[in-house]
Amino acid sequence: MNKKIIIILTTVVILTILGLGIKMFLDRPSEEGKMIQEIYQAQETASLSPGGEALKAELIKFLGGKAGAIINNSDFEIGYLPAPLERLMIFVNFNNWQEKENTAISWLKSRGFSDADICGFPTVISVVTDTPESSMELPGSHVPSFCSEDI
Amino acid sequence: MMFKKIILATATFIIIFLVHPVSAATTITSTEPIPLGLAQRVSNTYTWALGIGGMVALGIIIFGGVLYNFINPDLTSLEEVFLDPNPRVEGPTLERLPGAGNSSLFAALPITEDCGGFYNARNALKGNFGDPRCEYASAISGDSTGGTQGRTAFVGMLRNVVRSEVERIGYCDANVDYVTTVMVDQVAGCETNWSYNSNSYNPRSTSGLGAYGLFQMNPSSANRPYDQGDVPWREQVANAIKRYDQYSPSYWACWNRLNISKLVEC
């Protein structure tokens, strides 16, 4: 009878460990989940260098503290969202979105922003399309790749 | 291969539970009562079967409990299986009778306002139900002045409305930021292909009734609490946030694919 109890307890312990292991495995956020966590974290820890602050002030001056587009063309839109959760938004159109994303980031760099400032603003990129059936194929909102390496 | 394993397992089971008691019985001294082998074997088998069955059942219950409570706590919310206490029931009306003619009451959300030609059958398949004040149309078409144009301008408005709805619930600051970010950047974004068009419509919804608006929710005719997407976008937001708070966010496929928690620690 004692043997039986030991076997039962051992099985229960093994199953519990197995269950917790599966839980930990399945609980991992997906790629999209990690992206949104990176955005949330980037907002909570946003910080710009003094030089970046000056560039930001110059860049958004004409918006008068409101949300709006800073530059808007057929490939991408770079916009500003004020506090709380201040950030730069980049909307790129779906076709060749990676190329357009790089062009948009290059535009920000051409204005004097460093990688650290782009990440520290923070900057959030979304890929836009009007095709309804492709929503799950689109990359979710994300921070630039060089920012997620830092986080 | 599998078949051999099953035979091997069965043979092991027979040797352990059926043969073993008999061999043990042969070592019993002659002074002891002669055991009835068959009865003992049956009894042993029964006891072991009961023990193993109990063990397996316990394991399944524990495993199921772990799966249900930890891995997907939102699998089924009890409140979701309750019936709506005051459903709006529409009886037959004259307009519905054959030969009653067309009635705008039953027309499929006609385009009453196309915002200067901005909305059409491509970007507002079910009409302009979501943007009666043309806020989205003005932002996207660049009609606004003073730097409040572009998709960012509308996302800014959307984010403010989402935030105030989340604050109204009474979440802590961390969760106000978290839920606002998730609902704007992921749920509304993904549900509308990041166009943030409040007139988005998808006829191929899970419910079969069509998905409407920023959060691709059911039409009002579904009569489900806080599940109305065919309304102006501020109401869409209010419904979505209440739905998020009071029910499971797993309602949205775009939330499900994140595999993240509903709230963060305050």
| CATH code for the domain of B116 | 1.10.530
- Which positions 108-147 of A are in contact with B (Cβ < 8 Å)? 124, 126-132, 134-136, 138, 140-141
The encoded tokens of residue A47 equal 């910080």
Instruction: Confirm whether B195 is domain-assigned.
Output: yes
A92 vs A147: CA distance, rounded Å: 18
Q: How many residues does chain B have?
A: 266
Read off the pLDDT of residues B15-33 as tens digits, 9 standing for 90 and up.
665 555 544 445 555 677 7
Long-range contacts at B220-223 (CB < 8 A, ≥ 24 apart):
B223/B84, B223/B87, B223/B88
Question: Between chains, do B150 and A77 touch, taking CB under 8 Å as contact?
Answer: yes
CATH domain A30-150 topology: Transcription Regulator spoIIAA (3.30.750)
Instruction: Confirm whether B173 is domain-assigned.
Output: yes
pLDDT recorded at residue B263:
93
The encoded tokens of residue A49 equal 């260098």
* Cβ contacts of A44 on chain B, cutoff 8 Å: 177
Q: Which of B253, B227, B231, B230 is nearest to B241 (CA)?
A: B227
Q: Model pTM greater than 0.80?
A: no
The encoded tokens of residue B105 equal 């009451």
Q: Where are the domains of chain A?
A: 30-150
Read off the pLDDT of residues B128-167 as tens digits, 9 standing for 90 and up.
999 999 999 989 887 654 546 899 999 999 999 999 999 9
Q: Which of A129, A82, A84, A74 is nearest to B192 (CA)?
A: A129
The chain B residue lying nearest A60, using CA atoms, is B147
Task: Give, in order, the Cα–Cα distances in Å from B217 to each of B61, B69, B112, B253.
Answer: 35, 27, 21, 11
Tens digits of pLDDT across chain B (266 residues): 555 666 667 666 666 655 555 444 455 556 777 666 777 778 788 888 888 888 888 888 888 777 666 655 555 444 444 444 444 444 444 444 444 444 433 344 444 578 988 999 888 989 999 999 999 998 988 765 454 689 999 999 999 999 999 999 999 999 999 999 999 999 999 999 999 999 999 988 888 899 999 999 999 988 888 999 999 999 999 999 999 999 999 999 999 988 899 999 88
Tell me, yes or no, whether B179 and B117 share the same domain. Answer: yes
Tell me, yes or no, whether B118 and B245 share the same domain. Answer: yes
* Residue A28 touches chain B, beta carbons under 8 Å: yes
B218 vs B211: CA distance, rounded Å: 5
Angle at the Cα of B57 from the Cα atoms of B53 and B62, rounded to 5 degrees? 150
The chain A residue lying nearest B193, using CA atoms, is A135
Instruction: Confirm whether B125 is domain-assigned.
Output: yes
The encoded tokens of residue B24 equal 């043990």
B251 vs B10: CA distance, rounded Å: 46
Tell me, yes or no, whether B143 and B228 share the same domain. Answer: yes
Instruction: Confirm whether B204 is domain-assigned.
Output: yes
* Helix H or strand E encompassing B201: strand B201-202
Tell me, yes or no, whether B15 and B63 share the same domain. Answer: yes
Please tell me the number of Cα atoms within 13 Å of B48 on its side-chain side.
14
* Residue A22 touches chain B, beta carbons under 8 Å: yes
B129 vs B116: CA distance, rounded Å: 15
Which one-letter amino acid corresponds to residue A8? I
Handedness of CA B196, B199, B202, B208 (dihedral sign): positive
Answer for the pair A67, A82: CB distance below 8 angstroms, yes or no: yes
* Residue A20 touches chain B, beta carbons under 8 Å: yes
**SS (HEC) of chain A:** CHHHHHHHHHHHHHHHHHHHHHHHHHCCCCHHHHHHHHHHHHHHCCCCCHHHHHHHHHHHHHHCCCCEEEEECCCEEEEEECCCCCEEEEEEECCCHHHHHHHHHHHHHHCCCCHHHHHHCCEEEEEECCCHHHHHHCCCCECCHHHHHHC
Model-level ipTM above the cut of 0.90: no
Question: Between chains, do A136 and B253 touch, taking CB under 8 Å as contact?
Answer: yes
Q: Best mutation site among B66, B67, B122, B152 for testing chain A: the one with the most A CBs within 10 Å?
A: B152
Tell me, yes or no, whether B69 and B192 share the same domain. Answer: no
Tell me, yes or no, whether B64 and B111 share the same domain. Answer: no
Q: Best mutation site among A17, A87, A91, A124 for testing chain B: the one with the most B CBs within 10 Å?
A: A91
Instruction: Confirm whether B171 is domain-assigned.
Output: yes
* Residue A16 touches chain B, beta carbons under 8 Å: yes
The range of the structural domain enclosing residue B13 comes to 7-24+40-73
Of A18, A22, A132, which has the smallest distance from its Cβ to B202's Cβ?
A132
Instruction: Please tell me the total count of domains within chain B.
Output: 2
